């Protein structure tokens, strides 16, 4: 690769002014193309001539013609600018073709994004969006993803990145209605589905409820991804953010169990600092607007155990 000494090169404005003058055969046409005055174009061309030490154009009648040096330089610049333009077009096409790549949690994409994705595509047809359900514990990888959706209790958990809060959702204790009806409401007597990924939330619940975790019956599903289905099947009580189980509350497969748990998690959209592509910005804005309607817990559907609706 040839090293470029930028200090020896004329400014881009002088090169553009001369290339347009040569291609369009005059200062006035070049000025219209570059949205400046003919005098400014002429000044830039004269400056370039002084820098390279050669005459590039000359008057002939009422017009301009290129000198031999001008013809040689104009051909070189035309090829160089065409190469640059082609490279930029290729990059734009590549960026548009790859669409928007989102890393998120399995539950968040299932409960919030996918049921509403058709609305995004109706507003932005042709924008490809792909998801990777990496999980909340996976590192934020903005080399391979445009947006990472993660839950946490503070934006400072991802230093060096841009964070946009999407929604706050409280953790709740939930269970299948049949489990509660068959075993009663004494939480210590029921089996528990313990997700190690939110062990800190379980520990907070134990402290707030006065339960002894050593005395509880723990059901291990082997994978956090199976815990929600295990809760629906009635295998045990579960702790989850309310927004994740909202569809199951709506159809009655789960109910919220009254408990002293008082922990809230915030979902964030994490992006790189700097300019985002139009497609990424469109999806990010749509997602933020979508999450507004999920933020009001008072609209949460479904009965609560121990409440008058039960």
Q: Could you please report the per-residue DSSP string of 122-136?
A: HHSTT--EEEEE--T
Burial of 207 (0-12, 13-18, 19+ CB in 10 A): exposed
Q: Could you tell me what percent of the chain has a pLDDT over 70?
A: 92
Domain CATH for 235: 3.40.190.290
What confidence score (pLDDT) does residue 1 get? Answer: 59
Q: Does the pLDDT value for residue 2 go beyond 80?
A: no
Are residues 244 and 164 part of one domain? yes
Q: Other C-beta atoms within 10 Å of 159: how many?
A: 7
Using alpha carbons, select from 275, 294, 270, 268 the residue that is nearest to residue 101: 270
Nearest-angstrom CA–CA distance, 152 and 265: 6
Are residues 41 and 123 part of one domain? no
Confidence of residue 21 (pLDDT cuts 50, 70, 90): very high
Q: Does the pLDDT value for residue 15 go beyond 50?
A: yes
Nearest-angstrom CA–CA distance, 229 and 232: 5
- The total of structural domains in the chain comes to 2
Residue 1 domain-assigned (yes or no)? no
- pLDDT (average), residues 208-221: 89
Are residues 82 and 21 part of one domain? yes
Q: Could you please report the per-residue DSSP string of the chain?
A: -PPP-TTTSPPHHHHHHHHHHHHHTSHHHHHHHHTS-HHHHHHHHHHHHHHHTS--EEEETTEEEE-HHHHHHHHHHHHHHHHHHHHHHHHHHHHHHH-EEEEE-HHHIIIIIGGGHHHHHHHSTT--EEEEE--TTSPP-TTT-SEEEEEES-GGGSTTSEEEEEEEEEEEEEE-HHHHHHH-S-GGGS-EE--GGGHHHHHHHHHHHT--GGGS-EE--SSGGGHHHHHHTTS-BEEEEHHHHHHHHHTTS-EEEP-----EEEEEEEE-SSPPPHHHHHHHHHHHHHHHHH--GGG--S-EETSTT-
Are residues 33 and 175 part of one domain? no
Are residues 250 and 161 part of one domain? yes
Using one digit for the tens of pLDDT, what is the confidence trace for 53-84?
999 999 888 889 999 999 999 999 999 999 99
Are residues 85 and 121 part of one domain? no
What confidence score (pLDDT) does residue 300 get? Answer: 43
Average pLDDT across the chain, whole number: 88
Are residues 45 and 167 part of one domain? no
What confidence score (pLDDT) does residue 153 get? Answer: 62
Strands 63-66 and 57-60: antiparallel
Q: Other C-beta atoms within 10 Å of 109: how many?
A: 18
- pLDDT (average), residues 12-40: 94
- pLDDT (average), residues 1-24: 88
Higher-scoring residue by pLDDT: 181, 22: 22
- 246 neighbors 252 (Cβ within 8 angstroms): no
Strands 63-66 and 218-219: unpaired
Residue 6 domain-assigned (yes or no)? no
Residue 4's DSSP bridge partners are none
Domain extent for 36: 12-98
What confidence score (pLDDT) does residue 46 get? Answer: 95
Q: CB-based contacts of 184: which residues, under 8 Å, 6+ apart?
A: none
Nearest-angstrom CA–CA distance, 130 and 145: 10
Q: Which of 98, 119, 144 is the last residue of a domain?
A: 98
Residue 108 domain-assigned (yes or no)? yes
The residue count of the chain comes to 310
Using alpha carbons, select from 230, 137, 148 the residue that is nearest to residue 191: 230
Q: Look up tokens 């539950």; give the residue.
A: 107
Q: Does the pLDDT value for residue 299 go beyond 90?
A: no
């Amino acid at each position: 690769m040839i090293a470029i000494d930028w200090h020896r090169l004329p400014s881009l404005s002088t090169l553009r002014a001369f290339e347009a003058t040569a291609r369009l055969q005059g200062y006035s046409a070049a000025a219209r193309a570059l949205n400046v005055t003919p005098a400014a174009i002429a000044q830039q061309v004269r400056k370039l001539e002084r820098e390279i030490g050669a005459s590039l154009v000359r008057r002939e009648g009422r017009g301009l013609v290129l000198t031999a040096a001008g013809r040689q330089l104009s051909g070189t610049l035309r090829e160089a600018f065409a190469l640059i333009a082609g490279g930029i077009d290729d990059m734009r096409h590549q960026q548009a073709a790859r669409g928007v790549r989102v890393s998120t949690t399995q539950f968040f994409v299932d409960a919030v994004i996918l049921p509403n994705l058709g609305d995004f595509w109706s507003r932005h047809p042709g924008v490809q969006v792909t998801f990777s359900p990496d999980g909340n514990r996976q590192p934020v990888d903005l080399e391979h993803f445009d947006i990472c959706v993660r839950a946490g209790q503070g934006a400072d958990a991802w230093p060096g990145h841009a964070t946009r809060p999407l929604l706050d959702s409280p953790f709740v204790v939930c269970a299948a209605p049949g489990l509660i009806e068959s075993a009663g409401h004494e939480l210590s007597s029921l089996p528990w589905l313990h997700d190690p990924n939110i062990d800190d939330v379980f520990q907070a619940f134990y402290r707030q409820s006065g339960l002894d975790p050593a005395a509880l019956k723990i059901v291990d599903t082997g994978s956090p991804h199976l815990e929600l289905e295990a809760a629906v099947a009635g295998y045990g009580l579960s702790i989850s953010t309310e927004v994740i189980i909202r569809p199951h509350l709506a159809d009655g497969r789960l109910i919220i169990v009254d408990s002293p748990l008082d922990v809230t998690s915030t979902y964030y959209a994490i992006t790189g600092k700097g300019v985002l592509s139009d497609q990424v910005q469109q999806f990010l804005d749509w997602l933020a607007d979508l999450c507004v309607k999920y933020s009001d817990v008072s609209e949460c559907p479904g009965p609560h155990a121990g409440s008058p609706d039960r």
